[in-house]
C-alpha cells in the first residue's frame, strides 16, 4: 500500500519547510477536488501531502481600491462567489468560480487549485488572465511573481518548482473596467469547458483604453489573446471592432479535435464567446 504523510502547517514558513524537505515527493493539497481523484486513479502518488487550508496568506480575500484584490490560493470558491466585493468589482471571476462543479465541490475547491492543476480547460484561469492577475509564488529562496498567462506551461504542468507553492493572486483594481467569463458545455452543468473565454475591457467615454481576452480549452495551456485585446484599444466597441477582435482571438487559438468537440467547432466557439463576453464586459463597464 502507498504510504502517505499528511501535514497541515499553520504558517507559510512551516509549509515551505515541509515542502522543501519532501522535494519531488511533496504535493500541496487545497480542496482536493482534483488531487484526491488523481491520487485514487494513481495519476499522482505524493508521499507527503501539505494541506494549504490553514495557512493565513493562502486564505486572503481583501480588496483595496488602489491595489486591487488579494486572493489567497486556497480560499474556497463558495466564499469567493458569495463575496460582495468580488461580485461588484470582478463579476467575471465570480462567474468562472461559480461554474466549478456542484455546491459540494465549490465548498472545497479553490481558485489556486484550479490554476495549479494546470488544466487547459480550467474555468478560472482565462478569467484571471483577462483581469491581468499575477501569481505570487513562495519557496525556500524567497518569493516571485508570474503573470497567470505564463503560469501553466503544458497540460498538468506549471512554472512551480517542486519546492515552491502558490500563495495568492494579486488582481489589479478595476480602472473604468469590467470583466465577463462564459464557457460552452453541451449540458447545463457539471461538465468541462469545450471552450471558455474571459474578457475585460476598460472604457473612457466609450473609447476602449485597455482590453484583455483569456482563452481556455483551445490550446495545450490557457492563453492570452494579446493581439485581439490590443486591437480594441483606442476604438469604440462597436460590432465591427468586436468582430475584428473575435477573428484575432480565433487566430490565437490552436484547438484539437476530441470527443468534446472538433477543432473547427472550437474555433467557431472562440468567435462567439469572444463577441459575447466583450459586449457584456463593455456593458458592465459603461454601467459603472
Ligand X SMILES: Cc1cc2nc3c(=O)[nH]c(=O)nc-3n(C[C@H](O)[C@H](O)[C@H](O)COP(=O)(O)OP(=O)(O)OC[C@H]3O[C@@H](n4cnc5c(N)ncnc54)[C@H](O)[C@@H]3O)c2cc1C
SS (H, E, C) the chain: CCCCEEECCCCHHHHHHHHHHHHHHEEEECCCCCHHHHHHCCCCCCCEEEECCCCHHHHCEEEECCCEEEEECCCEHHHHHHCHHHHHHCHHHHHHHHCCCCHHHHHHCEHHHHHHCCCCCCCHHHHHHHHCCEEEEEECCEEEEEEHHHCEEECCEECCCCCCEEEEEEECCCCCEEEEEEEECCCCCCCCCCEEEEEEEEEECCEEEEEEEEEECCCCCCEECHHHHHCCCCCECCHHHHHHHHHHHHHHCCCCCECCECHHHHHHHHHHHHHHHHHHHHHHHHHC
Question: Of 42-61, which residues contact ligand X (CB under 6 A)?
Answer: 52, 58
Residues of this chain, 114-143, that bind ligand X according to CB under 6 A: 114, 116-117, 122-123
Position among 16, 18, 22, 29 found at the interface with ligand X (CB under 6 A): 29
Stretch that binds ligand X, among 25-33, 78-86, 250-258, 264-272 (CB under 6 A): 25-33
Residues numbered 178 to 217 that lie near ligand X (CB under 6 A) are 190
Least Å distance between CB 175 and ligand X? 28
Asked if 99 touches ligand X (CB under 6 A), the answer is yes
By CB under 6 A, tell whether 108 contacts ligand X. Answer: yes
Contact between 274 and ligand X by CB under 6 A: the answer reads no
CB of 210 to ligand X, least distance (A): 26
- The answer for residues whose C-beta is within 8 angstroms of residue 209's C-beta and 6 or more apart is 176, 202, 203, 233, 234
Question: Of the two residues 101 and 172, which places its CB atom closer to ligand X in the complex?
Answer: 101
| Residue 218 near ligand X by CB under 6 A | no
Determine if 242 is a binding residue for ligand X (CB under 6 A): no
Select from 7, 18, 22, 34 the one that contacts ligand X (CB under 6 A): 34
Considering only 23-31, 85-93, 200-208, 244-252, which stretch makes contact with ligand X by CB under 6 A?
Answer: 23-31
Toward ligand X, which CB reaches closer, 32 or 261?
A: 32
**What are φ and ψ of residue 222, in 5° steps?**
-60, 145
Indicate the residue among 125 and 177 with the shorter CB distance to ligand X. Answer: 125
Cell numbers given for 71: 486572493
Residue 209 Cβ vs ligand X, minimum distance, rounded to whole Å: 30
Residues 146-165 that bind ligand X (CB under 6 A): 160, 165
Please identify, using beta-carbon distances, which residue of 45 and 251 lies nearer to ligand X.
45
Residues that bind ligand X (CB under 6 A): 27-35, 37, 52, 58, 73-74, 99-101, 105, 108-110, 112-114, 116-117, 122-123, 160, 165-166, 190
Amino acid at each position: 500500500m502507498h504510504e502517505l504523510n499528511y501535514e497541515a502547517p499553520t504558517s507559510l514558513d512551516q509549509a515551505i519547510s515541509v515542502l522543501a524537505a519532501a522535494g519531488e515527493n511533496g504535493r500541496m493539497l487545497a480542496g482536493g477536488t482534483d488531487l484526491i481523484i488523481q491520487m485514487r486513479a494513481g495519476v499522482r502518488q505524493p508521499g507527503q501531502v501539505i494541506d494549504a487550508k490553514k495557512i493565513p496568506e493562502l486564505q486572503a480575500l481583501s480588496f483595496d481600491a488602489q491595489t486591487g484584490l488579494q486572493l489567497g490560493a486556497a480560499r474556497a470558491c463558495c466564499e469567493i462567489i458569495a463575496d460582495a466585493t468580488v461580485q461588484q468589482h470582478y463579476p467575471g471571476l465570480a462567474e468562472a468560480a461559480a461554474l466549478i462543479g456542484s455546491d459540494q465541490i465549490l465548498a472545497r475547491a479553490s481558485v489556486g487549485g484550479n490554476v495549479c492543476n494546470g488544466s487547459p480547460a480550467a474555468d478560472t484561469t482565462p478569467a484571471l488572465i483577462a483581469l491581468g492577475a499575477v501569481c505570487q509564488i513562495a519557496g525556500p529562496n524567497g518569493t516571485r511573481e508570474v503573470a497567470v498567462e505564463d503560469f501553466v506551461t503544458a497540460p498538468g504542468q506549471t512554472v512551480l518548482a517542486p519546492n515552491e507553492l502558490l500563495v495568492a493572486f494579486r488582481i489589479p483594481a478595476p480602472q473604468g473596467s469590467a470583466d465577463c467569463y462564459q464557457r460552452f458545455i453541451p449540458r447545463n452543468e457539471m461538465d468541462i469547458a469545450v471552450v471558455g473565454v474571459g474578457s475585460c475591457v476598460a472604457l473612457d467615454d466609450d473609447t476602449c483604453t485597455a482590453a484583455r481576452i483569456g482563452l481556455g480549452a483551445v490550446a495545450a495551456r490557457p492563453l492570452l489573446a494579446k493581439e485581439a485585446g490590443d486591437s480594441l484599444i483606442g476604438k469604440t466597441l462597436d460590432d465591427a471592432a468586436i468582430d475584428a477582435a473575435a477573428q484575432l482571438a480565433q487566430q490565437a487559438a490552436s484547438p484539437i479535435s476530441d470527443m468534446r468537440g472538433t477543432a473547427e467547432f472550437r474555433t467557431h466557439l472562440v468567435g462567439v464567446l469572444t463577441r459575447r463576453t466583450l459586449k457584456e464586459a463593455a456593458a458592465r463597464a459603461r454601467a459603472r
